[in-house]
Structure 1
């Protein structure tokens, strides 16, 4: 014999009667009263059936839950995990997707009630489970686990972007009807009510059933309460193959507001302005003639005010245009010419004059102090520019690849001087090793020992993770796991300064592209990037905003911005004058591993540990292209010098790939230059000769021996060519000033099983 009806049972019967009689207003009032009558701390489940259309059921679960016992929270999740592990193989792949969001919210609940020991117990017991289940070995789950493990209090949870993202949205999980029935039956057990409340509050299920088929009266689907909107349609359980590549990003979409607000800031992406450009602009506005304008330029160049780095390349470009103008004018003045030929030459001279006069006008003046460039530095750079080769998809550069042997997997990073005269390596034994290729080439015939051309720099107390030469190749910066950056002199082969400020390992360092080295930037595991000047041991700026390790840092060509790439899968652009983040680029699915600015400063290429390459338009913060050709992490990116017609990428898949960054402009530029890549080939041969032949640790080789592809498409960033090394991952790439492509890595022989 059944006992008396409870008040909740009576209310449910009345509610069903009101629904059948279509008394909607009374139904809403009774529903509200039922919700308000539930005592605080009591978990109560009530259910009803409502139709949202043909074949679709809308179900709402109404539940309230108290904080509960911390030990019971841990035990409830342990029971859920054990139940999923023991479920039938046909349902296990789908049901396993519920575990991580349930785990994350259980962990945060424990943190919020101050149960830190229980939270650590939960993390320790299940962390490896989720790492092993990561789709395709992705670092996404690892990063989310690291972010959760770093939360130690309710205040830290409130400040954590990962925790805020988890709490601000319900994760949508698609289940078949059978999987959904099994899950709801388990969660309605007497010991799983606390887990039922967590699942109902933070997870949205989408399940399928046959269109037009109502749920059976006695089935779990009809009896289970509806907290969320559920789309239920019949379908077979998803298999592991169906779920391959599917990994829920629990923080996806949470940064949208920050992205929109940050990317509204205006940017000054133009290159640095030359002194002479200022005089020409003033001459044009005053109506001065060409001769007066040239006189003003000469007076500007003769003035004692310091030169600007950007003006050196502009000055070289002006000289080239002036030569073309004079040559065309002389040919046009020749007597033995037809009228048609003379007109064509005069038109060519006019075009060269217009090009010369417009060079450097779209430049920006420096907004912060920059040291002067000496006449010696300017002359050296002009000589390098005279030997620069124009490269494109139709005129490929030569590539010189340096392989490190016998490193025993201790090589962490490499860097090249801009003149290909030196290669530096950073090692796990805390040493920095400098390989002087010119000294080796000159001493090879005399049988010089490696000690004559290899310099060991000792000073760090931790592994060296980042290296960078100054633009004038006189200084070398190194970043280490000991939390410091050291400055080394190439002239005296000694340490000049130590910069300490990071609290954790420093992952990367980058010097300002301005020719006279003065500023540099660093980034590290303390989730910050820092701006330094060589004359101070304290940082000038601190860039804070990333939620995980900052792994890569690069300078914009106009020196006004730096870009940082982080393990939080975002790229940020910072204003070095104000320290403000002015671009937030979101789209990668793994930690950022490489960055490169185009020479004109308008685009930024980014790559991650999954092998994805994305090119962004900085002005609009929109992606221009996405490529997935690499089969492993991409560790280095480099644009060709000058027009930036080619982008080179290299990584763990033992390949160097070239991309056609500017198809039309690159082809026109190569044709206008009228010079083949033979000069670059000669440079490659010289560099290879300097590095090759029976060394103990390093040998140069041409990377083009195994080549795939060619030509490149008409679309921007179409793949042009792939060069494969034999067994050497590509650690670093760089185009020299002459557009010779340099690459390097450590020989890695696969272990035998």
Structure 2
């Protein structure tokens, strides 16, 4: 093979890989070398340029493949760590995707032992940021595992999105050209998508999107995020009717002037509804606090009133007159929360569950509490009845010897809860309808079941998913519901049909959680692929892709005005998103473990988060969104939501949070073993 053939072979390989800039560089060298060759004698023409021979050796010597990967990555690593401090943190971002693809390429080529050696040699560099991913990749021990393991297969088929400034990008290109490592060139070109920004390098603290799996079509994702979003609230809602009639503000003013006798009657009513008179008396005190923070509270309440109104795309059910009257009464008696008027919290603790409780749910008025268990059972406690018997804040598990259902059943005594059986696998999610008359549950048996809390019976079994269903959520108006599954899809259903109305497919891994938008026209899904997606219910299309989480997204919540969405992940990070722009408003750092549940207060001024670290945290949403409006370019980088208060439990991870229509915060969790 002569010199011209060598150059053509190298350029052909690079062209095949699509590395156009490097190809042009080699073409320039070829032209320059041709000029030099024409002026030299014939003996000089027979010599081979050593800079061209070097890549040829890597290209042709297949016997030395492990050394190519090990040496190529080792040199790239050394160069990145020795770079200028101003650009080092950006260049170091390239190492992680190169590392994992070097490892997987070695496995795919059959060099298993060398792949393990390579993995163990450099894994320490990435353990702090990507420990969970590395633990998954440890299970890749043969080429077949790359196809069988969902995580590894997703990595192989997708690109990684990396933000980098123009100068850092040019430094990287210069290094790759000088080193002429075909192996590193191929991996970077095939598996990394650079988002090059002009100006100085980004701050180290702005590393929310360091390494993110985005799939093959980054351009398609950008196009999706340019779609128009109608994020406003529904027209002619109950809140609208009350607001138009002037009832909300006038009634709030009347609350402050009501007599003590009226206050006591109201507190008794709330105690009967929720079974927690002590908590409602605390809430009553909050009603009086509203009087001292009147203007501030009402201005924050106007956040919802100022939101645009949109027409529903779905045919929504008619609210019964008695239910509508009850909701309006709740709205009139709503406590306006703010940073100076925090909510009262009613916490329900499951005891003696022996780690078998997988999920819990609380009805909007706090009168019903449901728990889903690993033995395929679903149990519902009526707090009003339970409160008459004993302490309603303690919920007994099935193995509790003092109040076990089985003991009571044998003795003919009354149960402390209603037992629902029908699933054939662990129950992973449960949710009450907005009016508390129905309950949905999902299970590892791939089904969703609809239960009547009035009849205490199973009404429908919905089949459609092929794998376990991780989450199910009712529409804010009822009748419709959405589900999320291990089969990587989310589905929209109606109570009167056994087949799904829409199937949302696009996530690269499990869809772990689902949440409805307040106007019922969108659903949001969080996935193990570390992204959140917003779907148009009518069209079934993806309207937004939110990228920034570093681990699986486990919880979602939308703000009452419909503009913002919060998402919590496995690492304890919460991110606030602006639906209109698709941008992250601010990350919320504070939890030290999985964020399992999120809830906005009714006026949208506060966000509550519950975590496996046994705490409930309250965040000031209003302050951050105000900054966003005044300084939209910097809000996402320099401002974080202020943590107002941390409410620790004794030893109870928080499974669910729910604000009542009157702004009382309900929470539930299972007491940890050994507490």
Residue number in structure 1 paired with 2:370: 424
Paired position in structure 2 for 1:402:
348
- Residue 733 of structure 1 and its aligned partner are, at CA, apart by 0.9
User: What is the 5 A alignment of 1:466-477?
Assistant: 466-477=429-440
Task: Indicate the residue corresponding to 2:485 in structure 1.
Answer: 524
Deviations 1:194-245 (A, max 9, x none): xx753453369xxxxxxxxxxxxxxxxxxxxxxxxxxxxxxxxxxxxx9xx9
Counterpart CA distance in 2 for 1:268 and 1:100 is 36
Structure 2 vs 1, CA of residues 471 and 445 (structure 1 numbering), >3 Å: closer, same or farther? closer
1:501 aligns with 2:464: yes
Tell me which residue corresponds to 1:567. Answer: 528
The answer to whether the 8 Å contact 1:663/1:715 transfers is no
Secondary structure at 2:439 match in 1? strand
Q: 1:435 to 1:100 in 2, by over 3 A?
A: same
Aligned to 1:590: 551
2:226 corresponds in structure 1 to 264
Conserved in 1, the CA contact under 8 Å of 2:445 and 2:467? yes
Report if aligned partners of 1:647, 1:659 keep a CA contact under 8 Å in 2.
yes
Counterpart in the other structure of 1:620 = 581
After the TM superposition, which residues 589-608 of structure 1 pair with which residues of structure 2 at under 5 Å, given as runs? 589-608=550-569
Would you say how many aligned residue pairs link Structure 1 and Structure 2? 530
Answer yes or no: is the 8 Å Cα contact 1:440–1:452 preserved in 2: no
Shift, 1:749, TM fit: 4.4
- Which residue in the other structure is 2:504 paired with? 543
Q: Does 1:316 find its partner at 2:277? A: no
Which of 722, 727, 731 is matched with 2:655 structurally?
Answer: 731
Can you list the C-alpha shifts for 1:296-316, whole angstroms capped at 9, x where unaligned?
Answer: xxxxxxxxxxxxxx2x22223
| Cα separation, 1, equivalents of 2:212 and 2:565 | 27
**Does the residue aligned with 2:380 lie in a helix, a strand or coil?**
strand
**Alignment equivalent of 2:59, drawn from 65, 68, 74:** 65
Q: Using the alignment, how far apart are the partners of 1:436 and 1:427 within structure 2?
A: 18
Q: Which residue of 2 aligns with 1:165?
A: 159
Q: What is the DSSP-based 3-state SS (H/G/I as helix, E as strand, rest coil) of the residue aligned with 1:647?
A: strand
- Go from structure 1 to structure 2 and tell me whether the alpha carbon gap of 1:126 and 1:418 turns closer, same or farther (over 3 Å shift): farther
Sort the Cα spacing of 1:64 and 1:24 in 2 relative to 1 into closer, same or farther, 3 A: closer
Contact 2:471 2:514 in 1 (8 A): yes
Is structure 2 residue 377 aligned with structure 1 residue 383?
Answer: no
How do 1:309-458 residues align onto structure 2 when only pairs under 5 Å count? 310=237, 312-321=238-247, 324=250, 362-444=308-390, 451-458=414-421
Kindly tell me: are residues 443 and 7 of structure 1, through their superposed partners in 2, closer, same or farther at Cα, counting changes over 3 Å? closer
1:47 aligns with 2:60: no
Contact conserved, 1:106 with 1:198, CA < 8 A, in 2?
no
Task: Give the CA deviation at 1:551.
Answer: 0.5
Q: Distance in 2 between matches of 1:433 and 1:62?
A: 68
Q: Are residues 736 and 61 of structure 1, via their aligned partners in 2, closer, same or farther at CA, if it must alter by over 3 Å?
A: same
Contact 1:415 1:468 in 2 (8 A): yes
Map 1:694-713 onto structure 2 (within 5 A): none
Q: SS of 1:452's equivalent?
A: coil
Match of 1:104 in 2: 101
Q: Does 1:139 align with 2:132?
A: yes
2: distance between equivalents of 1:531 and 1:146?
Answer: 35
Which stretch shifts more, 60-69 or 592-601?
60-69
Q: Do the aligned partners of 1:437 and 1:453 also contact (CA within 8 Å) in 2?
A: no
Go from structure 1 to structure 2 and tell me whether the alpha carbon gap of 1:108 and 1:718 turns closer, same or farther (over 3 Å shift): same
Q: Which has the larger radius of gyration?
A: 1
- Asked if the contact 2:595–2:609 (Cα under 8 Å) also holds between the matched residues in 1, the reply is yes
Please state how far the C-alpha of 1:413 moved relative to its aligned partner.
1.2
3-state DSSP of counterpart to 1:134 = helix
How many Å apart are 1:444 and its aligned residue? 3.2
1:708 corresponds to which residue?
Answer: none
Q: CA deviation at 1:630?
A: 1.2
Q: How far off is 1:729 after superposition?
A: 1.4
Give the structure 2 partner of residue 742 of structure 1. 666
Task: Decide which structure has greater helix share.
Answer: 2
SS in 1 for 2:221: helix
1:648 correspondence with 2:643 = no
| Aligned match of 1:279 | none
Distance 1:200 1:482, change over 3 A: same
Residue pair 2:146, 2:152 contacting (<8 A) in 1 also:
no
Task: Indicate conservation of the 8 Å contact 2:531/2:545, yes or no.
Answer: yes
Aligned to 1:465: 428
Instruction: Give, in angstroms, the shift of residue 46 of structure 1.
Output: 3.7
Q: Partners of 1:746 and 1:449 in 2: how far apart?
A: 16
**Deviations, residues 699-722 of structure 1 (Å, cap 9, x unaligned):** xxxxxxxxxxxxxxx977321111
How far residue 742 of structure 1 moved from its aligned partner, in angstroms, is 1.0
8 Å contact kept, 2:106–2:112: no
- Distance in 2 between the 1:373 and 1:246 partners? 43
Aligned to 1:697: none
Q: CA offset at residue 452 of structure 1?
A: 2.9
Counterpart contact for 1:554–1:595, Cα < 8 Å: yes
On the 8 A contact 2:617/2:645 being kept in 1, the answer is: yes
Instruction: Give yes or no for the alignment of 1:202 onto 2:202.
Output: no
CA deviation after TM superposition for structure 1 residue 107, in Å: 3.5
Shift in Å at residue 63 of structure 1? 5.2
Cα distance between partner residues in 2 of 1:369 and 1:576: 12
SS in 2 for 1:28: helix
| Structure 1 residue 545: Cα displacement | 0.8
Query: Secondary structure of the residue that 2:533 maps to in structure 1?
Result: strand
Specify every segment of 5 or more residues in structure 1 that has no aligned partner in the other structure, as ranges: 1-5, 13-22, 34-43, 49-58, 175-186, 189-195, 205-241, 275-309, 329-351, 667-713
TM-superposed deviation, 1:443: 3.0
TM normalised by structure 1 equals 0.60
